[in-house]
Structure 1
Amino acid sequence: MIGSSSSSSKRRRIGSEPSWASLSQDLVELIGWRVLAGDLLDYVRFRAVCTHWNSSTVSPRGRGLIDPRFHPRRWMLFPEDHGLYPGHPNLGGYVRFFNLSTGAFVRVYLPLFDDHVVLDSTDGLLVVLRHPNTAVRILHPFTGDIADLPPVFPLLPQINPHICRYMTEEMKLRELDAAFLKGVCAAVSVDAAGAITVMLGLDSKRRVAYATAGCERWSLSPWTLPRLRALHVSFEGKLYISAVNSADENNIYICQIDPPRVSDEGYQSLPEPRMLVKCPLDGPLGTAHLVQCGSELMLAGFSDTSLAHLAVYRVSDLIKGTVLPMKDIGDHAIFFEVHGLCVSAKGFPSILGNSIICKHRSGELVETFNPDPRLERRPVLPARPRIDQ
């Protein structure tokens, strides 16, 4: 009898405990924003727990572009091997994305790649170009939200003054593809009213094209980028340039291009590049890369012409005048060849954290930097990360 009474009392206590579904709407909403600060897909899973949690939180669908909180910041389009580009018939309309922090993969159905190509990706958003009308779109891969921008074809005479009226449309499209499909860096910014503005840094033409969703045409920067060995990166809606001047190889220049400003008359104008820092280094940088590492912007590259020593600098420190290489980048690993990429080693067990990995002159993927002197330089062969379907 005693055991029976104890079990009955325990069942009553369990039954009387409040359930997770009974949390107040304000508390669920607060927890949801905390989850969203980590990762968008975790937020989507959070909303799927029950009807109450779903109705107490803001749906990302329809706000995926206009609200930067819903941008899939740490997700990147996965470059398939064996020539399987987005839109390849063997992919069946699917593409994969992987998380730079966790190593998780998701498979997304995006059939629009039948007639679209990717120009760039920023904050996890895809900037795509449609053929044959050359319209540009911003796509949120997880919510399906799309922002339409005007065609870039009318920019062609400004980009290439040698275009003549006797050229066929096919020839002109080839010229356009050469300008927009090679070395484009995109930055997407959203103002307080939800207006989406896109800047496209055209490396091969040393110009920046810009437009706002819903406007009639693209504009081209009246100025050209300096003739430097330059690389672009987008960060927080702005374009950044790291460059080495052949006449001043002991300095690295870092410039920032802000989104276009709107005048009192309603016209947009693009500010000229603003030099943030002219940074003296121990030796000329054979290669320099700006890389987003978590919430920081880093400068990584070779610190001598022999390409034997790598260094990493925090850009915020350089701006303050502190020219000291970092001794520890935590669990991050930085890869670079043409562009830089930073991943968390926590999500990729075969990748060594606190390291920089680059394409060596021999053509092999070799670890060339790690602050821990006990670790020897060795070939790094990243294994296939785990997959979440």
Structure 2
Amino acid sequence: MASSTGLPNQVVATYCRQEKRARIAGIPMDPNWRDWADLIAGPAGLIAERVLADDVADYLRFRMVCRTWRHCTASPHGYGSLDRRFHPRRWIMLPQTMGDVRKRRTFMNVSTGERLQVNLPELCYQHVFGTTSDGLVVLCDRRTYAIRLLNPLTRQLTSLPDATTLQYTASSQQRTSGYTLKFLQVFGAGLADDSTVALYFGGTWLATAKPGDKQWTRLHHIWDNMIIATLPFAGRFYCVTEKAIMALDTSQRQPRLVVAAGLGDLGSTNVWYDRTMKLVDNGGELVLARRIPLDSKNPLRGGYEAHRVDLEAGITLPMQQGFGGRALFVGTPSHLGPGRALLLPAGLFSHVLGDTVYLCNATIADPPRIEACRLLYGHARSGSAIGPTGLSYGHHSRVYIGDARPCSVIDHVSRYVCGSKIIVKQRRHHSERQARHGPTSVHIKSV
């Protein structure tokens, strides 16, 4: 019910209380003053919903402002740990620098470049298998081999079947040994629906499970149609194979891969386990990018090509425009893994151009080598293109930029897409060797 002033009675009562306190204290009352801590539940809840739709980190900050706001907003712990609304989908976990606190990890917002340091005691005695595109961390307990999903911002854990139920073949009844588990690496992970978790271990090894299941279910997949890359997108789990783009169907009792879209013009070229193919989310649009293959028309591999995946029509079409000003960072396949793909706003870092693909190659002893490739779409332009940073792409649409500065943001992003987990800083007693052989300021060690 509203008062004679047209304002809700709760607002008027709050203002009167504050005016009385100011009069007793002898402090003049500012007529424009508002007590935001006493904001009623309706407006506060509406603001919280909009903040949560943008970023869960800002939502958690909103709830930490005061007790009133915390009481009138929903706690993430009151919902299931797989509720996508509370997933840090814009945050990635950067590689850990050797010497840092073991339980502390750094996360970066891929939209704003903001970085957060989060203490995660849940990482004790854990193998970090990998991360999902929604920002969840896949953990495996070193002692019990229990697999769990960790939301690093809300600290929620999802318990899944232990890794000993993972089997190399459908007919094998032998439990996976602890020695093998140390070398397991997740190349792709995500939610296939509201409750099914999918893990991709490379090749044709794709397993699914739900919280409460006793064991993992491995999908029966043929060897002549290898899985190249995966991506959770729009509530489903997609895989690009040698023959088509497939989606994980969990509507049946036995999960299976079904064709979601054909490869289009890519199907007429050699895509036999082409590990340069990556699936990316381009602002709500599923895009397949790959490096132009070597053939008679392209004697030197240079640029990248991008194809839009039309899931409604079930076809893949060449893109007639770029990534909307975004830059694509791609990790080259190596012993660390097949590499990831990450789209970042071009203005997030200096000297990063939009609609450009940055190939990142991380080795054991050297800093990541970064190479810029022009994104070719429509009819490939000939000649050279010079961007605002002075980069000349040359005739083959690529240019070597150089090594990433040690422990910089670009260095961490490069190592993230390459799949490295730990960065070991250069030690002091190596200074003489650096003077003789040049700087080797960053080393990689995978775990």
Q: Give the TM-score, by structure 2 length.
A: 0.68
1:25 to 20, 35, 41: 41
1:141-189: per-residue Cα shift (whole Å, max 9, x none)? Answer: 11111111121213336468495xxxxx9x92223444xx235321225
* Greater alpha carbon shift after TM alignment, 111-120 vs 92-101: 111-120
The aligned runs of 1:163-242 (5 Å cut-off) are 172-178=177-183, 181-189=184-192, 191=194, 196-204=195-203, 206-224=204-222, 226-228=224-226, 230-242=228-240
Instruction: State the match for 1:120 in structure 2.
Output: 130
Instruction: State the match for 1:293 in structure 2.
Output: 282
Counterpart-to-counterpart distance in 2, 1:355 and 1:152: 39
Counterpart-to-counterpart distance in 1, 2:359 and 2:164: 37
Distance 1:68 1:360, change over 3 A: closer
Counterpart-to-counterpart distance in 2, 1:233 and 1:335: 15
1:255 pairs with 2:260: no
1:95 to 96, 99, 105: 105
Counterpart-to-counterpart distance in 1, 2:62 and 2:261: 41
Counterpart-to-counterpart distance in 2, 1:148 and 1:73: 20
2:85 to 66, 69, 74: 69
Match of 2:148, SS? strand
Instruction: State the match for 1:5 in structure 2.
Output: none
Alignment check: 8 A CA contact 1:317 1:323 kept: no
Alignment check: 8 A CA contact 2:62 2:69 kept: yes
Q: Give the TM-score, by structure 1 length.
A: 0.77
Counterpart-to-counterpart distance in 1, 2:130 and 2:361: 25
Match of 1:272, SS? strand
> Percent of pairs identical after alignment?
26
2:180 partner amino acid: E
1:316 pairs with 2:310: yes
Alignment check: 8 A CA contact 2:90 2:111 kept: yes
Match of 1:312, SS? strand
Q: Report the aligned-residue RMSD.
A: 3.3
1:156 pairs with 2:167: yes
Deviation at 1:323, TM superposition (A): 2.1
Match of 2:68, SS? helix
1:131 to 142, 156, 173: 142
1:257 partner amino acid: L
1:277 pairs with 2:288: no
1:51 pairs with 2:67: yes
Counterpart-to-counterpart distance in 1, 2:163 and 2:123: 18
Counterpart-to-counterpart distance in 2, 1:54 and 1:358: 44
2:241 to 230, 240, 243: 243
Counterpart-to-counterpart distance in 1, 2:182 and 2:36: 54
Q: Provide structure 2 residue ranges, at least 5 long, that are not aligned to the other structure.
A: 1-26, 295-299, 333-338, 394-398, 413-447
Counterpart-to-counterpart distance in 2, 1:324 and 1:304: 15
Alignment check: 8 A CA contact 1:63 1:70 kept: no
Counterpart-to-counterpart distance in 2, 1:307 and 1:229: 23
Alignment check: 8 A CA contact 1:64 1:143 kept: no
Deviation at 1:361, TM superposition (A): 12
Q: Provide structure 1 residue ranges, at least 5 long, that are not aligned to the other structure.
A: 1-10, 164-168, 246-252, 263-267
Match of 2:51, SS? helix
- Structure ranking higher in strand proportion: 1
Distance 1:183 1:125, change over 3 A: closer
Deviation at 1:283, TM superposition (A): 5.4
1:105 pairs with 2:115: yes
Alignment check: 8 A CA contact 2:306 2:375 kept: no
Deviation at 1:107, TM superposition (A): 0.9
1:96-123: per-residue Cα shift (whole Å, max 9, x none)? Answer: 1111111111111112323111222110
* Greater alpha carbon shift after TM alignment, 103-112 vs 350-359: 350-359
Alignment check: 8 A CA contact 2:261 2:310 kept: no
Counterpart-to-counterpart distance in 2, 1:182 and 1:101: 27
Counterpart-to-counterpart distance in 1, 2:91 and 2:180: 31
2:125 partner amino acid: D
Count how many residue pairs are aligned between Structure 1 and Structure 2: 345
